[in-house]
Amino acid sequence: MPSNAPAANPFETAKQQIDIVADLIGISSGVREVLKHPKRELTVNFPVRMDDGSYQVYTGYRVQYNMARGPSKGGIRYHPGVTLDEVRALAAWMTWKCAVVNIPYGGAKGGVIVDPKKLSVGELERLTRRYATEIAPIIGPEMDIPAPDVYTDSQTMAWIMDTYSMLKGYSVPGVVTGKPISIGGSEGRGEATGRGCAYVIREAAKDAGVKIKGGTVAVQGFGNAGSIAAKILYDEQGAKICAASDTKGGIWNADGFNPHAVEAHKHKTGSVVGFPGAKSISNEDILETKVDVLIPAALENVLTAKNANKVQAKIVAEAANGPTLPEADKVFFEKKITVLPDILANAGGVTVSYFEWAQNIQGYFWTLREVNDRLERTMVESYQAVHKVAVERKVHNRTAAYVVGVSRVVDAIRIRGLYP
């Protein structure tokens, strides 16, 4: 994420997006208010014993936004910039995302204010287990199911699953998703976000008249989602990956490069920077390069009113959560740039998380091919539903995705009614 990214409040952005859809489809003021408030928020302050014997107190959050369609679902991120409003926004986006791909979940999100790069593995484990203990009263397979997010991974989920299981007295694999396969994880979960994004790009390119085979791609944020989307576009669709970046900088080669080789270079050196045969490019400039497909896969608020007019891509596929501000959306719509919004483009992760949870509940596991086939079907059907609304209502894809997702949540709220 660029160091000079605007300090926009992500939850205000999320509420603006709700208002846009509410005005468009005529949601009543009462239901609109429900949609703009999280159902439940938990803030926890907890001590962690450091390796030197000292104690450090950390602050963490878990927000359950809406549970009208089922138990809430959402990742946990470890980042020094975590705020409650950020977690609220991410939980709201998870609510609409689950509804867009029509899986029976509400939305949630969690976070701890910490720089995990400064902690040892032992310190991370103790932090994770203590945080899991603090939020344990409100999570569970039928209530709220965490998953990995920024700077958390399958090992983090294993620690949470084990901690929760110890509290219950028996193994509860369904309490989290994104676990290692050896303790109930699903085949295909690790690459699901990037793979789902690649499927949606493929479908959108057909409607936008963009050729992916031989087409150019830039990826801002060559992490899990961004690198996998790039590799699948390269391997399976013949795309030319011309630019990639991470927190330390970016690389550019007009002739393209092998994303597998870039990944190996990053694994060896810690960054994509310095990849042989590539020129240096900043995280800001990578957003403005002339390519067919731009994949913002870092953090939120990177596409703004300041740089939207400089974006030259034909398709912007949001592998990250909330990278585009509402004013940038307007510019892209006027320029006829196809935006594949986060709640559609990166929903592959939560889709396969749902598959993992379903497998845990039934104690029966699917093959990788079965997982990927189901993921492809879900992503294609979801894109088609969103595109249909966009064409019929003459709106951009983000508004269309919100119409699809919010309408499904509103239907559930209305049908269930208010208790008592």
- Residue 159 maps to which CATH number? 3.40.50.10860
pLDDT band at 321 (very low <50, low <70, confident <90, very high): confident
Whether 158 has a pLDDT exceeding 60, the answer reads yes
Q: Residue 144: inside a domain, yes or no?
A: yes
Whether 407 has a pLDDT exceeding 90, the answer reads yes
Structural domain including 327 reads 192-345
Encode pLDDT of 110-138 as tens digits.
Answer: 999 999 999 999 999 999 999 999 999 99
The mean pLDDT of 375-388, rounded to a whole number, is 98
Q: Is 109 a catalytic residue?
A: yes
Give residue 2's pLDDT.
Answer: 43
What predicted TM-score, i.e. pTM, was given to this entire model?
Answer: 0.92
Give residue 13's pLDDT.
Answer: 83
Q: What percentage of the chain's residues is helix, strand, coil (to nearest 5)?
A: 50, 20, 35
**Active-site option among 109, 179, 266, 314:** 109
Final residue before a domain boundary, out of 311, 329, 345 = 345
**Number of structural domains in the chain:** 2
Are 201 and 67 part of one and the same domain? no
Give residue 326's pLDDT.
Answer: 85
The mean pLDDT of 389-398, rounded to a whole number, is 94
Bridge partner list, 144? 72, 140
Distance (Å, whole) CA 359 – CA 184 = 8
Strand order in the sheet with 216-220: 279-281, 249-252, 240-246, 216-220, 293-296, 315-317, 338-340
pLDDT band at 301 (very low <50, low <70, confident <90, very high): confident
Final residue before a domain boundary, out of 121, 150, 183 = 183
Q: Residue 7: inside a domain, yes or no?
A: no
Give residue 17's pLDDT.
Answer: 85
Give residue 322's pLDDT.
Answer: 82
The mean pLDDT of 205-231, rounded to a whole number, is 96
Give residue 3's pLDDT.
Answer: 44
Asked which of 72-86, 321-335, 347-361 is least confident by mean pLDDT, the reply is 321-335
- Phi, psi of 64, deg, nearest 5: -105, 110
Are 109 and 212 part of one and the same domain? no
If phi over 0 gives left and psi between -120 and 50 gives alpha, with beta otherwise, what is residue 363? left
Asked which of 12-16, 226-230, 362-366 is least confident by mean pLDDT, the reply is 12-16
pLDDT band at 7 (very low <50, low <70, confident <90, very high): low
Q: Residue 25: inside a domain, yes or no?
A: no
The mean pLDDT of 262-282, rounded to a whole number, is 95
Final residue before a domain boundary, out of 183, 201, 219 = 183
Whether 241 has a pLDDT exceeding 70, the answer reads yes
Give residue 310's pLDDT.
Answer: 96
- Residue 231 maps to which CATH number? 3.40.50.720
Q: Residue 394: inside a domain, yes or no?
A: no
